[in-house]
Chain A
């Protein structure tokens, strides 16, 4: 034992040294470091969970967006069809109204033309009567009453024949 250098007091000192080191390192090194590693692991786990949650949210939002886009496209298509149909209806109505208006205008124009024609005819008749009267007056002014009666009678006769 002596040759190996084993001394009970030195042995006990080393046991005490080791025990002190276990206590000190447990407080100073192991607990804080393992606590920090545990904390970091939890933070990473939470981060991974959050990322997964956000990914699922994003997937949901993408699906929802696609659905809304499909709905919007479908609505737009339907509205376009409805607008086209409504446009055709309006077109028909407009054409019908225009046709009616044109017919009215034509009718009115015909009536106006007739009225103008009638007015002109009356005016011409009056004018011709006046002219005829003046012509007769001028012609008859140099004739005797008998000649005048004779000419008037002949003309009246001709007029009655022509009518």
Chain B
């Protein structure tokens, strides 16, 4: 039976910091993204080559997509939203590469030999998804306060009437729940996909996992899109006047 662990395993330590297999895969994904970006943009010309064309389609498409939600504010938030999409997508897809979850080592745990995979999909590590969720929500709050000033706080603390006060508490709770929903939605989808692929590959190793790999590629895009689009919508809501909410 294959080894399935909800938590990312620690594969080593760097300056006393535990390095999880999810973190290791994240660095590989980041390195791939940075390298591809460098290759695509090292020689930009008006008539693009293949690499530049792919980069233009991706970045131009993302820009148009976020512009359709955020209108003129897209310029300000595009780096954050596009990086969320690219980061999540790269981690999701790197997690589907052969060797992820299968290359590893055995170590003794509580008197038993356990398999520790060296690589794990970055987004199948709750630390990653929680970090991204926290970044998104913190940025949303900062932007809300910077745009609306103290009136943004009225969204959460409104003493003008008992109903508004209660609604404010609900809003406050919803902000915390956003972190949880962001983190667990992404983690759950990718971890479930990883488990599904592991189980299918264990039961029927040849051909059978291929359709599921295709499905997971699709899920990877969808989850990256959902995360970044929800962040853009929340950012837009945070910058809208308080009266528009109530």
Contact = CB atoms under 8 A, between A and B. Distances in A.
B37 interface: yes
A29 B126 contact: no
Contact of B18 (A3, A7, A25, A29): A7
Contacts of B44: 32-33, 36
A15 B37 CA distance: 21
Contacts of B135: 15, 18-19
Chain A contact surface mostly = helix
A25 B33 contact: yes
Interface string B122-145: 000111101110110000000000
B27 A30 contact: no
B231 to A, nearest CB: 12
Interface stretch (A37-45, A71-79, A95-103, A130-138): A37-45
Nearest to A37: B60
Interface stretch (B80-88, B98-106, B217-225, B233-241): B80-88
A7 B87 CA distance: 20
A11 B82 contact: no
Interface of A: 2-7, 9-15, 17-22, 24-26, 28-30, 32-34, 36-37, 39-40, 43
25 contacts: A5-B6, A5-B20, A7-B127, A10-B8, A10-B17, A10-B18, A11-B130, A11-B131, A17-B23, A17-B27, A21-B30, A21-B33, A22-B80, A24-B34, A25-B79, A25-B83, A25-B86, A28-B34, A29-B37, A30-B78, A33-B44, A33-B52, A33-B60, A36-B46, A40-B46
A147 B221 CA distance: 170
Contacts of B52: 33, 36
Contacts of A25: 33-34, 37, 79, 82-83, 86
Nearest to B45: A36
A39 B34 CA distance: 23
Contacts of B192: none
A12 B128 CA distance: 9
B126 A4 contact: yes
Most B CB within 10 A of own CB, among A9, A14, A19, A30: A14
B56 A36 contact: yes
Nearest to A14: B131
Given A10-B22, A22-B80, A33-B60, 10 more contacts: A4-B7, A4-B126, A5-B8, A13-B127, A14-B127, A20-B30, A24-B34, A24-B37, A25-B82, A36-B44
A31 to B, nearest CB: 9
Given A7-B18, A7-B20, A18 B87 contact: yes
A26 B56 contact: no
Nearest to A41: B60
A28 B23 CA distance: 23
B40 interface: yes
A26 B26 CA distance: 19
A134 B79 CA distance: 152
B56 A22 contact: no
Nearest to B131: A14
Contacts of A40: 46
B55 A29 contact: yes
Interface in B151-199: none
